Amino acid sequence: MSASLLIVIYVAAMLGALCALVIYSEMRRRRFGPTGAGDRIFRCTHCGYVYTDDPDVDRSRCAQCGRLNEPIAF
């Protein structure tokens, strides 16, 4: 085996190990990371108060002034 072939094999093995480490850490981060709440976001048309409510609610009452509001569509 020539020296250049040994260097290529060594570099390829290190790059493969680095890629495997990055994939493993990304999978671990996704598994243990925080998930989104899934709540709907509402903004009161009367007082401008921004609040959240459960995802199954179509209209929600503002906690500040009591007016019913539609969820914000992004």
- Per-residue pLDDT of 41-67, as tens digits, reads 999 999 999 999 998 889 999 999 999
State residue 64's pLDDT score. Answer: 92
- pLDDT of res. 49: 95
Q: Which residue has the tokens 């992004």?
A: 74
- Predicted confidence at residue 7, as pLDDT, reads 96
For residue 62, the tally of other CB atoms under 10 A from its CB is 19
pLDDT of residue 59: 93
pLDDT of residue 37: 73
Q: Where are the domains of the chain?
A: 1-35, 40-69
Q: How much of the chain, in percent, has pLDDT values that exceed 70?
A: 100
